[in-house]
Chain A
Amino acid sequence: MKMLPVIFKRQLTSYACTPGTYLSVAAFLVLCATLGVYTSQWLERDSGNLQAFFQLHPWLYLLLIPTLSTQLWSDERTASLRDVMNTLPITTFERVIGKFLAAWVVCGIALVLTFPTVIVANYLGPADNLVITSQLLASGLLAGSYLSVGCFICALTHRRVVIFLLTLGLLFIASVLSSVLDSLEHQAPIWVIDSLMALNPISRFSTIDNGKLTLHDSLFFISIIFAFLSATTVILNYKNS
């Protein structure tokens, strides 16, 4: 794990050097603010937390995460550097974790940059900042789990368009899972619905979003991250051999 900071730093620099990162973070922030204000009557609701904003995040991540994922292995896009990297004394796990953490930090920065909304909420009335913090954390965890899926797809293919579309498709399926389950309610056995519901990231997210930051919901996201990152490592190791 000694080389982790090196990979992390390199990946963060690579994000900072790419205009796409700024563009997608800006789009995320603008959409987050405008959609939150216009689509839900947040100002009329007077709830003291930012649920109206955070419930949009799973959808907005559909835009941000695939863009960040296409950047993840862009260093290795040129075959020569990919091969050189494979001859260096670093493990695949270090590379995967380093890159993932850098992307997660970019997501974190995007989340932190939504702070004007928090300030406005505090200005307009008494806001429950503890709930807002837990909502931010939940959103960060959701972003992490989505990113790990993106990371996994990057291991499967090197084509940027394919990475973008596959990540988008997979995350979209995750986002609409609850509506699919609703429609299946009378057709499928109850245990299938129950187990799928337990796997649905959106329902987990909305639980935390409501202000209940429980251990098992957080662990759900963390275990998803670990599962997909381990799968990425296994696939990359298999590909290299």
Chain B
Amino acid sequence: MTGIFSYALQNLFGKKMLEISSLTKYQGKRTVITDLSFFAQRQECIGLFGEDGAGKTTLLNLIAGLVTPSGGHINIQGFDTQTHPLQARKALGYQLQGGLSHHTMSVKGVLNFMADIRGFSGAEKRSRVDRAAMRLELSRVLNAPIDTLSLGLKRKVAIAQAILHTPSLLLLDEPTEGLATNQLLKFRTLIHSLTEEMTVIIASRHCNELSSICTRAAVIAGGRLMADTPLPDLQRHSRHFRAVTLAAETPLDLLALAVLPGVAGIEEDRHAPGTVTVLAMPGHNIYPAINALIASRGWNITSLNLEPGRLNEVVHHLSQEVSI
């Protein structure tokens, strides 16, 4: 009775879409995930960042129920993935890292099959398959066998398959790998629209590409959760937070830049001569001062950027911390 009551309470007031408590996973003698606790609310877009082998995919596999945890619990919408696997899986969409492939089925065949398994039929099935295909711009290749598609398209099919049933929790594993810049923009709009409907967790090594999409960042290194903060907070930890990068055709007067108030240091880009990054001291805004200097000296500037902070650098730094 108390169980039912607490369950009803959880449904009424609990806004947590995903709740992970002290999750541990051993593979052989190696610990892949160590005592990880984490939660996700409704309509959040969480970036799961980390370097290669940090345990991002393992964590997603654990959430999706592909791998059984050695200890701890995972609840999706209040359903434990161990005790109520079917209910938990109904609320879940998962795009696996390598995309989706099959030796005979066409894109439409796979999507129809997935819609069947998700319990749709008739007109609703057709409209859901069409909508998912349209959102990922797969309409052109609907009748093509999946095996003949490029890796990028296979990944799109995998995403279409994952969002077909409008899950409450969407897991994406390296969705931006190898995307061109214009595709990246389209992907951002897609994720923005998806976030309005569901909770999205994106695991990626390329955090900078995702900095404008995610609202929260979880950094994982060596199977431990190193940081779980709103994305701007993580950017603030970067050495390049509020740094200004400028490129000019004529040589710049580095000394004049260095003596500006609030400047912490200057970095020259070895690969692109003429490009200089001016670092700011914490709490200082050096952009106006640099602007004024450029105007007074009349430098011929080709690009001038205020950096939001380099996430890759922060993630790398946190990963180094855990290995020490």
Q: Give chain A's interface residues, CB within 8 Å of chain B.
A: 2-3, 6, 9-10, 14, 17-18, 74-75, 77-81, 83-84, 86-91, 240-241
1/0 per residue, CB under 8 A from A, across B71-91: the answer is 000000000000000110110
- The answer on a CB contact under 8 Å between B92 and A87 is yes
- The answer on a CB contact under 8 Å between B96 and A83 is yes
> For residue B89, which residues in chain A have a CB less than 8 angstroms away from its CB?
87-89
Instruction: Please name 16 further chain A to chain B contacts, defined as beta carbons within 8 Å, in addition to the given A10-B116, A79-B98, sorted by A numbering.
Output: A2-B119, A6-B113, A9-B116, A10-B113, A14-B104, A75-B102, A78-B101, A80-B99, A80-B158, A81-B102, A83-B66, A83-B96, A87-B94, A88-B89, A89-B118, A240-B66
User: CB of B9 within 8 A of chain A?
Assistant: no
User: CB of B259 within 8 A of chain A?
Assistant: no
- The answer on a CB contact under 8 Å between B100 and A87 is no
Query: Across the A-B interface, how many residue pairs have beta carbons closer than 8 Å?
Result: 59
Q: How far is the CB of A101 from chain B (nearest CB, A)?
A: 16
The 8 tightest CB contacts between A and B, nearest first, are A89-B89, A6-B116, A241-B68, A87-B64, A89-B90, A89-B86, A87-B94, A80-B101
User: CB of B103 within 8 A of chain A?
Assistant: yes
- The answer on a CB contact under 8 Å between B100 and A89 is no
> For residue A83, which residues in chain B have a CB less than 8 angstroms away from its CB?
66, 96
CA A88 to CA B100, docked complex, whole Å: 14
> For residue B245, which residues in chain A have a CB less than 8 angstroms away from its CB?
none
- The answer on a CB contact under 8 Å between B119 and A80 is no
> For residue A80, which residues in chain B have a CB less than 8 angstroms away from its CB?
96, 98-101, 158
Q: How far is the CB of B97 from chain A (nearest CB, A)?
A: 9
Q: How far is the CB of B180 from chain A (nearest CB, A)?
A: 23
User: CB of B262 within 8 A of chain A?
Assistant: no
Interface centre among B87, B94, B99, B117 (most CB of A within 10 A): B117
- The answer on a CB contact under 8 Å between B66 and A87 is yes
> For residue A79, which residues in chain B have a CB less than 8 angstroms away from its CB?
98
Residue on B nearest A10 in the bound complex, by CB = B113
> For residue A75, which residues in chain B have a CB less than 8 angstroms away from its CB?
102
> For residue A88, which residues in chain B have a CB less than 8 angstroms away from its CB?
89, 114, 117-118
CA A87 to CA B92, docked complex, whole Å: 8
Q: How far is the CB of B24 from chain A (nearest CB, A)?
A: 15
Q: How far is the CB of B198 from chain A (nearest CB, A)?
A: 16
CA A89 to CA B64, docked complex, whole Å: 11
CA A38 to CA B41, docked complex, whole Å: 74
Residue on A nearest B92 in the bound complex, by CB = A87
Q: How far is the CB of B39 from chain A (nearest CB, A)?
A: 21
A-B contacts, 14 of them at CB < 8 A, read A2-B119, A6-B116, A10-B113, A14-B104, A78-B102, A78-B103, A81-B101, A81-B110, A87-B64, A87-B65, A87-B94, A88-B118, A89-B90, A90-B86
> For residue B99, which residues in chain A have a CB less than 8 angstroms away from its CB?
80
- The answer on a CB contact under 8 Å between B104 and A17 is yes
- The answer on a CB contact under 8 Å between A3 and B117 is yes
- The answer on a CB contact under 8 Å between A77 and B96 is no
Residue on B nearest A91 in the bound complex, by CB = B86
CA A211 to CA B211, docked complex, whole Å: 75
Residue on B nearest A3 in the bound complex, by CB = B117
User: CB of B161 within 8 A of chain A?
Assistant: yes
Residue on B nearest A79 in the bound complex, by CB = B98
Residue on A nearest B154 in the bound complex, by CB = A80
1/0 per residue, CB under 8 A from A, across B159-178: the answer is 00100000000000000000
- The answer on a CB contact under 8 Å between B117 and A6 is yes
- The answer on a CB contact under 8 Å between A90 and B103 is no
Q: How far is the CB of A109 from chain B (nearest CB, A)?
A: 20
> For residue A78, which residues in chain B have a CB less than 8 angstroms away from its CB?
101-103
> For residue A14, which residues in chain B have a CB less than 8 angstroms away from its CB?
104
Q: How far is the CB of A2 from chain B (nearest CB, A)?
A: 7
> For residue A74, which residues in chain B have a CB less than 8 angstroms away from its CB?
103
- The answer on a CB contact under 8 Å between A84 and B100 is yes
> For residue A10, which residues in chain B have a CB less than 8 angstroms away from its CB?
113, 116
Residue on B nearest A241 in the bound complex, by CB = B68
CA A88 to CA B114, docked complex, whole Å: 9
Residue on B nearest A76 in the bound complex, by CB = B102
Residue on A nearest B99 in the bound complex, by CB = A80
Q: How far is the CB of A70 from chain B (nearest CB, A)?
A: 13
Interface centre among A6, A79, A91, A240 (most CB of B within 10 A): A6
> For residue B119, which residues in chain A have a CB less than 8 angstroms away from its CB?
2
CA A87 to CA B95, docked complex, whole Å: 10
Interface residues of B in 101-125 (CB under 8 A from A): 101-104, 110, 113-114, 116-119
Tell whether A86 pairs with B102 under 8 Å between CB atoms, given A2-B119, A6-B116: no
- The answer on a CB contact under 8 Å between B100 and A81 is yes
> For residue A87, which residues in chain B have a CB less than 8 angstroms away from its CB?
64-66, 89, 92, 94
CA A88 to CA B119, docked complex, whole Å: 11
Residue on A nearest B64 in the bound complex, by CB = A87
Contacting residue for A86 out of B66, B100, B116, CB 8 A:
B66
CA A89 to CA B104, docked complex, whole Å: 23
CA A79 to CA B96, docked complex, whole Å: 10
> For residue B161, which residues in chain A have a CB less than 8 angstroms away from its CB?
84
Q: How far is the CB of B63 from chain A (nearest CB, A)?
A: 10
> For residue A90, which residues in chain B have a CB less than 8 angstroms away from its CB?
86, 117
CA A78 to CA B100, docked complex, whole Å: 9
> For residue A18, which residues in chain B have a CB less than 8 angstroms away from its CB?
104
